[in-house]
Structure 1
């Protein structure tokens, strides 16, 4: 049994916005509160809101000269402008444009061999701990009989799990009872605000009939979503054209496709089993040959499977048996027509005809 799990994902995100920051210092060196006209653009890197403290300290209180600290701007297209003077109003403008494209192509092919009417399972997973409960000690002293704080953890399997039971019918088709699960952990950047780990889980439980060697789709999911967000300053953000300086826009397009296929093959004898084994073995060995060189260690080579001919006498199930090493006795040379006629004449007790004398046919 061979399952094929295909998952495609394409995500596009775009963002554009402008932010303003105003900071002033009065004549008695008292700082005027900072005001931000718009929210920070995006959630990555350093927004203008987090730069407020740096702009407020842009003046050197000891020498009275202006200085700009080392500011880490966002890691995308960012344009900044500002004015920094002593005892005057300071301002800053931060323009930011962002475009992000993400693509993912995941292919999994778990396979397993089992007997008729026997359940089989293949599991390639990790046991990840999840917090299921916790206790916090709220006692005021150590002699009040309270216990130390603790957490209870439950481990769950995250990965690819395939469980099936085949049944071969009289018509050479296969009845399959299938339970398939594919799960993965969400990256830390996508689980912000979660109290524990987040997993993506996809499961299929079904029963199907498939022809020998045929491919059938068990199920799948296709999703297409689009989100748009706009934040702007009231009134100013509604001005045509000029209003783009007082607003931020962001959009996200997400498209996913998930399909699960299965292909059963009936192995009727040892020859079919050897053919299937050789195909899998040679596929892994060819992959090792393509990746055998170690770039940083040119004289070292990665481990390599030996040729399957060295491991099994069933390596080439379709090959004919080799000829015996015992020499075959040589055949006698073929006699010509005259020698054959002489031997036949001796067996008939008659003299052989002369080569120059034509043969006579006796009439009956």
Structure 2
């Protein structure tokens, strides 16, 4: 249908064939139009309405051009009436009119709620799409949404904002006004009251659970509804807090009074599970407390028993006793921190031994020429003289060299038939250095003793027997074993970010008897016992020993050894210096979370992979002692 045809249908008010604007009633009266359209185009209809109402109307591109509009009206309409008729026609065809300032947009109903429009239904045309924010005061916004959702079309939108307790609706203005009326009639102030019911015999937590099991939806902390009663157990003072409308609340209060009877207390037994504390220790402490507290004469005495299989305590007594018991247990059953104790035992020793001497000897085994003469200052040449005195025909040079036992320079002439003589120059320098680093570590709970022992059991001969007085042979040897190694015993006490440590550290090792000159097993023992206060992750020195020994020995022949230059043939000197440094380092670390334990475990595991002797290096500081380098 052409634009002219639409105009012809819009211009019928009494003047046939005249233009629409020319058929208005006299200029002094409001203009009116009678709308009659048969299969007219929607876009042409929008254009004519825009001309009549003098409004700016935009058509969304998604509005189809092929829509045909049919309007039959015998009643003259003013500008507002034409505009409302226009909105009704759009709604019938699935379109809406959205307003932004003075500009109107024809859009599909499904997208009308997404385009900015009026944020208030007041003053809006009935079929205009608007968005309304409705606040409710006495009922829940979520309940309003559940009630009104069936009353809105599919293209409309309704949602609740729980934090502000408001309802947001996007729909035609006339439908929003209808929904507002419904909300006003339902959002009425309630008559809820709050009552505190003290219990004398029954336990508040038990009564609250019993009532909630009777009617889960109507009774309990999360109960909702017009006849619901919210019940909260205040176990601190054994009371019930009731909230609801007066009539149902009074009924529940009467039930509570019936449950609060003395018979309930006679069976007041509670099983309390412990998560961290030891049930046996807690039960012993609570029993001691219960025995010192006087109870009612008509009630059995309270008692507490430990059930180790579940790590729980079974308490029996009146509600006040159980209430006090739960408060104490909640404080005792707290997670205990753990402490990682790392101790580094560092021992550095350096030994220096310098000796220099000359020994000369001469003798005639026949006793004819020269008497025996010797300057055996170090005892080296004595072995040779013994062989000479035994009248052996010959002395093996290899045996003679072995008899010296140290670096020597010897000049000898050994003749069994004539005078024999010898001179030996003995010079020896020994340097020995040893570094010992032991880093025992142990993990334990707060206030719990932990002990770690790493070492060996060394056999030590304590007695021996070979023959009896009558010559009978029945030899035997008695042996005892001694622990040698590292022994660490520690009890930590956490005080905030500091720790008090009761520590016993013992380090022992077997001495090399070949170097020290002993014939039996000898052990070195270092023991440290102390109590200290240290911060978390702080490295400190517990104690130690610094030893510096120096011994100088001079052996000489009197008078002859004092002769300048030539006296060196008649004297021998030995200089020995021993230096030992022994220090105990300690670093405690509080392990408060599982992640702390995982980090420590991973660090130690990574250290295993780097365990190479050729990669060892000296630590740069005290912290490096605990890195295993």
Same fold (TM over 0.5): yes
Whether the aligned pair in 1 keeps the contact of 2:393 and 2:416 (CA below 8 Å) is: no
Indicate yes or no: 2:470 matched with 1:140.
Answer: yes
1:284 aligns with 2:624: no
CA gap of 1:288–1:258, structure 2 versus 1, over 3 A, is closer
Aligned equivalents of 1:191, 1:226: Cα separation in 2: 15
Q: Give the 3 Å change call, closer, same or farther, for CA 121–141 of structure 1 in structure 2.
A: same
Q: Aligned-residue CA RMSD in angstroms? A: 3.0
Q: Output aligned runs, 1:311-326, within 5 Å.
A: none
Task: Check conservation: 1:38, 1:233, Cα contact below 8 A.
Answer: no
In structure 1, the partner of 2:357 is 17
Three-state SS of the structure 1 residue aligned to 2:610 is helix
Worse-superposed segment, 68-77 or 224-233: 68-77
Unaligned runs of 5+ in 2: 1-340, 616-629
Which residue in 2 is equivalent to 1:179?
Answer: 504
Residue matched to 1:125: 455
In the TM superposition, residue 208 of structure 1 has moved relative to its aligned partner by 0.6
8 Å Cα contact 1:18-1:246 kept in structure 2: yes
Q: Structure 1 residues 288, 85: CA separation in 2 closer, same or farther (over 3 Å shift)? A: closer
Distance in 1, Cα, partners of 2:546 & 2:504: 20
Whole-angstrom CA distance in 2 between matches of 1:139 and 1:57: 34
Which residue of the partner structure matches residue 254 of structure 1? Answer: 578
Alignment of 1:198-347 (within 5 A): 198-287=522-611
Q: 1:236 to 1:277 in 2, by over 3 A?
A: same
The equivalences for 1:45-84 within 5 A come to 47-55=380-388, 60=393, 69-70=397-398, 71-73=400-402, 74=404, 76-84=406-414
The structure carrying a bigger strand percent of its residues is 1
Alignment partner, residue 116 of structure 1 = 446
Q: CA deviation at 1:79?
A: 1.2
1:104 corresponds in structure 2 to 434
User: CA-to-partner distance for each residue in 1:179-209, whole Å, 9 max, x for gaps?
Assistant: 1000011112256455x42110000011111
Residue of 154, 157, 164 corresponding to 2:483: 157
Contact 1:58/1:68 (8 A) holds in 2: no
Partner Cα separation in structure 1 for residue 449 and residue 368 of structure 2: 79
Q: Aligned pair in 2 of structure 1 residues 56, 149: CA closer, same or farther (>3 Å)?
A: closer
Deviations 1:322-362 (A, max 9, x none): xxxxxxxxxxxxxxxxxxxxxxxxxxxxxxxxxxxxxxxxx
Q: How far 1:82 sits from its partner (Å)?
A: 2.4
Please report how far the alpha carbon of residue 21 of structure 1 lies from its aligned counterpart in structure 2 after TM superposition.
1.7
| TM-score, normalised with respect to structure 1 | 0.67
Distance 2:418 2:610 in 1: 72
Whether the 8 Å contact between 1:38 and 1:232 is mirrored in structure 2 is no
**Paired residue total:** 273
Tell me what 2:342 maps to.
2
Aligned to 2:172: none
Are the counterparts in 2 of residues 58 and 69 from structure 1 also a CA contact under 8 Å?
A: no
SS in 1 for 2:611: helix
1:71-120: per-residue Cα shift (whole Å, max 9, x none)? 32546542111234573311000001111111111111111111111111
Gaps of 5+ in 1: 42-46, 62-66, 292-364
Query: Following the alignment from structure 1 to structure 2, what is the Cα–Cα distance between the partners of residues 241 and 116?
Result: 72
- Say if 1:290 and 1:227 are closer, same or farther in 2 by CA, change over 3 A: closer
Q: Report the 3-state secondary structure (helix = DSSP H, G, I; strand = E; otherwise coil) of the residue aligned with 1:87.
A: coil
Higher helix share: 2
Q: Larger Cα Rg: Structure 1 or Structure 2?
A: 2
85-94 or 133-142: bigger deviation: 133-142
Tell me, in whole angstroms, the C-alpha distance in 2 between the residues paired with 1:141 and 1:251. 48
Aligned partners of 2:357 and 2:467: how far apart in 1?
A: 48
> Contact 1:38/1:246 (CA < 8 Å) preserved in 2?
no
SS in 1 for 2:507: strand
